Chains A and B, each alone.
Chain A
Amino acid sequence: MTVHNLYLFDRNGVCLHYSEWHRKKQAGIPKEEEYKLMYGMLFSIRSFVSKMSPLDMKDGFLAFQTSRYKLHYYETPTGIKVVMNTDSGVGPIRDVLHHIYSALYVELVVKNPLCPLGQTVQSELFRSRLDSYVRSLPFFSARAG
């Protein structure tokens, strides 16, 4: 069980942060294109899910799963999107993604006067705290499983 990578987008589609821990295969396109592809996909899936839902929608799009990995999605009311790719065996991790937003992003980026909002995060503190937080998660193992 492991975490492969993590994306952080803001409401305009700007990729605020990307880190990877175990990624054996790259997408084959430049990073900028990859971020745009990811954001576009999320945007389309979100509106698709809400349109085609047979019942009243509560939380909307949460995750998608393939045979090799699972993509978890969390969106805040302000439009910040946290996307984490993990192993297939990992259950719902909404609270983890919420913690990444509230205790890491809000504390270290929003409250940092030297981090302009709407741009990629340059703060070393944010990067290192996020890294140690993800490594401390119960479903993260150092070996790519």
Chain B
Amino acid sequence: MADEAVFLLLHNEMVSGVYKSAEQGEVENGRCITKLENMGFRVGQGLIERFTKDTARFKDELDIMKFVCKDFWTTVFKKQIDNLRTNHQGIYVLQDNKFRLLTQISAGKQYLEHASKYLAFTCGLIRGGLSNLGIKSIVTAEVSSMPACKFQVMIQKL
């Protein structure tokens, strides 16, 4: 699908662009990841407004998480989250066994150390989407074997 390739290539260039501009200012790895995550945050906020304009109000937090796993993920990545786990105390783990932005990179351990760069934007996407639905959270990602990855969402109770 043409639209998928456009986003994928743009995202890859964005990551390398942020890292290239960082090298000149001697900024370390963490700052680049934060920049990418903040970009994703703003995009996520906008996207969730657009996707929920016709849906009914959500019953509770779990319902919101299910929406993110099913409809939101399908619209952005053309597939659903494969596994959602929670401890019912504000921690959710979203597992995607074939994450769309990682499938082209490797199948296994090669390039594993670079994977976190390509997940930062998506972490921000989730955080932005949730924030506009009224949930303040912290989202992190971990990957042990590509292209499967896990996004951990920690809800912040105000």
Q: Closest CB of chain B to A89's CB: distance in Å?
A: 34
Q: Is the CB of A107 within 8 A of B110?
A: no
B9 beta carbon closer than 8 Å to chain A: yes
Q: Closest CB of chain A to B39's CB: distance in Å?
A: 16
Residue of A nearest to B15 (CB): A113
Binding site of B, secondary structure by majority: helix, strand, loop or mixed?
helix
Interface bin, chain A: 10 to 19
Identify A125's interface contact among B8, B12, B15, B110, CB under 8 A: B110
Residue of B nearest to A122 (CB): B110
Q: Is the CB of B8 within 8 A of A114?
A: no
Q: Is the CB of A111 within 8 A of B108?
A: no
Chain B residues with CB under 8 A of A111: 5, 8-9, 12, 104
Q: Is the CB of B12 within 8 A of A113?
A: yes
Q: Is the CB of A124 within 8 A of B110?
A: yes
Q: Closest CB of chain B to A123's CB: distance in Å?
A: 7
A contacts, CB < 8 Å to B: 107-108, 111-114, 123-125, 128
Q: List 5 A-B contacts (CB under 8 A).
A: A111-B104, A113-B15, A113-B118, A123-B110, A125-B105
Name the 9 nearest CB pairs between A and B, nearest first. Answer: A113-B12, A111-B104, A124-B110, A112-B104, A125-B107, A125-B106, A114-B111, A112-B105, A108-B104
